[in-house]
Amino acid sequence: MSAPAPLPSLWQASRALIVRDLRLLWRRRGDALQPALFALLIAVLFALALGGHADTLSLVAPAVMWLAVLLAGLLSLDSLFRGDADDGSLEQWVLAPVPLAWLVLVRVLLHWVVTALPLIVATPLLGELLHLRHDQLPVLLASLLLGTPLLSLLGAVVAALTVNMKRSGILVALLALPLYVPVLVFGAGSVAAGTQGLDPSAPLLLLGAGLVIGLVLAPLAAAAAIRISLS
């Protein structure tokens, strides 16, 4: 009698999921560029709407950057688990000998790497377009690095709740935006505090605390929502 096959480790399951997602992403690489192009379009439209005046643009540049990143992430939120639900992979996630919350966390981190990280890397270039003050750039980058993963974690819970609903794009936005508002306030507020000569560490610490809590609780909540949606 042959011995049972060993169960996959967390690392093996994560690697298999990442490789699969990257292959699918390469096949749909045009869709992967949409969030970055959407954020660039928002920045250009704000620059045109405000007349290209450097003084005016520099005042709103941090808020515009945060809005661009937030809306770009929201654009791809509905597809976070949608493809897996359509092809039956999500049911396999539930039955897999690996915690569902771990698979959710891996998917969310990959979503952040694909949608938010390129925008963070391009922030200095977009900042030049919006005449962002150079002394504001370090605080803006720190707030984006702390806030954007939290946005992806919060959005994962909403996407998991609506995964079985058809044409739920507007519903996802309506449910996610109230959760995004505090992150937007603290993220843009940290840059505003630094501009006014105040210490920006308080809102950054709040974003960091929210990120730690989100890393612990959001995958568990999203996993429970997936089970509810599939039941």
pLDDT per residue as tens digits for the range 103-114:
899 999 988 988
User: Structure pTM?
Assistant: 0.87
Split into its structural domains, the chain has a count of 1
Q: Is the dihedral of CA 134, 42, 180, 229 positive or negative?
A: negative
| Spatial distance between the Cα atoms of 83 and 90, rounded to a whole number of angstroms | 9
Q: Does residue 64 lie in a domain region?
A: yes
CA geometry: angle at 51 spanning 45 and 55, to 5°? 110
| Residues whose CB falls within 8 Å of the CB of residue 67, separated by 6 or more in sequence, listed in order | 42, 184
Residue range(s) defining the domain that contains residue 193 = 29-230
Q: Does residue 17 lie in a domain region?
A: no
Q: Does residue 4 lie in a domain region?
A: no
Q: Does residue 169 lie in a domain region?
A: yes
| Spatial distance between the Cα atoms of 163 and 177, rounded to a whole number of angstroms | 17
Q: Does residue 2 lie in a domain region?
A: no
CB 157 within 8 A of CB 175: no
Tell me how far CA of residue 189 lies from CA of 24, 119, 166, 184, 206, in angstroms.
Answer: 37, 19, 36, 8, 11
Per-residue pLDDT at 83:
75
Per-residue pLDDT at 8:
61
- Residue numbers in the chain where pLDDT is lower than 50: 1-3, 5
DSSP, residue by residue, 77-137: TTTTTHHHHHHTHHHHHHHSSS-HHHHHHHHHHHHHHHHTHHHHHTHHHHHHHTT--GGGH
Q: Does residue 133 lie in a domain region?
A: yes
Q: Does residue 13 lie in a domain region?
A: no
Q: Does residue 224 lie in a domain region?
A: yes
**DSSP class of residue 51?**
T
**DSSP class of residue 8?**
P
Per-residue pLDDT at 126:
85
